[in-house]
Structure 1
Amino acid sequence: MSVDNDVVIVGAPRSGTNMLRDVLTALPGYATWPCDEINLTWRHGNRAFPSDELRAEQATPEVVGYLRREFEKARHRYAAQSIVEKTCANSLRVEFVHEVKPDARYVFITRDGLDATASAMARWNAPLDVRYTAAKTKFVPPSDLPYYGARFVANQLKKRRATAAPGQTVGWWGPKTEGWQELARTRPLDEVCLLQWQRCVEVSQRGLAAMSSSQVFHVSYEDFVREPEAGLRDLLDFLGQPEKFDAKAVASVSASSIGKGRAKLGAESSARLGALASETLRSLGYAG
């Protein structure tokens, strides 16, 4: 199999995907889109599908062609050898993404689900970030703008009319799993975040297992932030570019967040959530 130079970072929300993207794009030859994620770009041609769990067969020739052109545009716009893509919702559609980028390298980053859960909870009912939202609209396919614009207005009106009870949420944040509406309606927020993390991890594992082992690299968030220089060397070895190592790229990486989420959740919530996702946590080397 020929291998292109692009890198697809796969990971659940709040698992370190931003960190890895920032580390790589601090090195020469790597670039990404100037916004956090491009989920609506990935959904072009499937915008009405109820979740982000797109199937391989939904990567039609038209969709594949459009998405590949977007990668090429970015490559030329930023004079890059490698485009780094880290949209978290891609963790729910690895086979779909692989249809689009069959020769890219895939980096799967995992983090303790309880730390990720506590971090995600802070994002769910956060106020609207106008600047962040505006930056993302630049990467909405023009033909899809009226559709998403109408949905955005309707959702904002809905949020204004509704009030989240303690421990609950209004609306949805992050990757939309199958059955996301029922999940948000019937579970407390901490369980919603944990089950979202679990679904993203498990779907990613299945999709990545179908690829060649030479195409997939697993990064432990905790290992990377504890020894970032060693982690970056290993990553660049996998990407076939060890000569690009620069310690400055990981100078701001810190291990200070390890365990903070569990501590913030407290003993009771940690035990309840740990039992809920015990099998997945243990499979990744974390305590339930």
Structure 2
Amino acid sequence: MLRDLLTSAPGFGTWDCDEVNLLWKHGNLDVPHDEIPRERATPALAGYLHRSFDRVARRTRSAVVVEKTCAVSLRVPFTRALFPDARYVFIRRDGIDATASTMQRWNAPFELGYTLRKARYVPPGDFPRHLATLVQKRVVQRLRGEVRGEARDMRVSTWWGPRPHDFRTLQEHHPLEELAFIQWQRCVEQAADGLSGLPDDQLLEVVYEDFVADPQRGSSRLFDFLGHPGAAGHAATDAIVAGSVGKGRSRLGPEAVDRLEALGADTLARFGRG
């Protein structure tokens, strides 16, 4: 939502696909998860990524490049070392709503066009490795099938989205709604820890529920933080609605909500709105 809002304003650009996690993984393919440690942020990798961002800026004629790869939340110290002058927008949302929303992505059908758009930004030398991983994932999904909302056990055969270091173990011991909740939990906790200590001119916290309740006010605050206050008047706020707030509990049902609240009470108290 925020990425689309920002890039609707003049002077802001991004990639023409949803995420570029495979670009971030360049030079670290031996790390089987997304928690890439800070010491892996080498000068050579920093140069490679800065050139990649510069190409986007030139292609979109933008002063600001917006990046929203979700897995970055698991490796903020690594990202900070690569882009020490970057500004961060930390958006947080009720964890129960976030879980219900994320579960839809875990079960989304394979989209060839979307995959091909992301493939354009895979470093050429990394392409064979990522292609093999994709084929393996599709084969596993075809052989084992994927869960749906009505499946009682709700186990999953493959992983979607940000991967904590122990994602395989989590996958073995938790059904889908718990996996999606733990994924949210790890992302917000590790992002907050990694962003700790940043000065006010590099970090802005946005509460989803507050933003969708008054998107014009939220947009003004956002563009002021990014140093382009005049852009707020050109941003497409009309598409932002508050209709998803609170729907997670009705989608998941009381039994699942009770389990998730017990599983992450402290995180919900710190970051959630429920």
User: TM-score per shorter chain, which class?
Assistant: over 0.9
Q: Are 2:101 and 1:114 equivalent residues in the alignment?
A: no
**Matching residue within 145, 148, 166 for 2:127:** 145
Partner of 1:7: none
Say if 2:9 and 2:236, in contact at 8 Å, map to a contact too: yes
Q: TM-score, normalised by structure 2?
A: 0.95
Cα shift at 1:211: 1.8
Partner of 2:158: 171
Cα displacement string for residues 84-116 of structure 1 (whole angstroms, at most 9, x for unaligned residues): 000000000011111111111100000111001
Partner of 1:219: 206
Equivalent runs, 1:1-288 vs 2, <5 Å: 19-164=1-146, 166=151, 167-246=154-233, 249-287=236-274
Unaligned runs of 5+ in 2: none
Cα distance in 2 for residues equivalent to 1:231 and 1:133? 32
Instruction: Could you list the structure 1 runs, at least 4 aligned residues long, displaced by more than 4 angstroms after superposition.
Output: none
Cα distance in 2 for residues equivalent to 1:247 and 1:225? 17
CA RMSD of aligned residues (A): 1.2
Cα shift at 1:163: 3.3
Say if 2:8 and 2:234, in contact at 8 Å, map to a contact too: no
Q: 3-state DSSP class of the match of 1:114?
A: helix
Cα distance in 1 for residues equivalent to 2:96 and 2:18? 23
Equivalenced residues, count = 269
Cα distance in 1 for residues equivalent to 2:235 and 2:41? 38
Say if 2:209 and 2:245, in contact at 8 Å, map to a contact too: yes
Change in Cα spacing, 1:238 to 1:248, as seen in structure 2 (3 Å) is closer
Cα distance in 1 for residues equivalent to 2:193 and 2:62? 31
Cα distance in 2 for residues equivalent to 1:77 and 1:223? 33
Percent identity between matched residues is 46
Change in Cα spacing, 1:285 to 1:39, as seen in structure 2 (3 Å) is closer
Say if 1:52 and 1:177, in contact at 8 Å, map to a contact too: yes
Cα distance in 2 for residues equivalent to 1:46 and 1:63? 10
Cα distance in 1 for residues equivalent to 2:205 and 2:31? 29
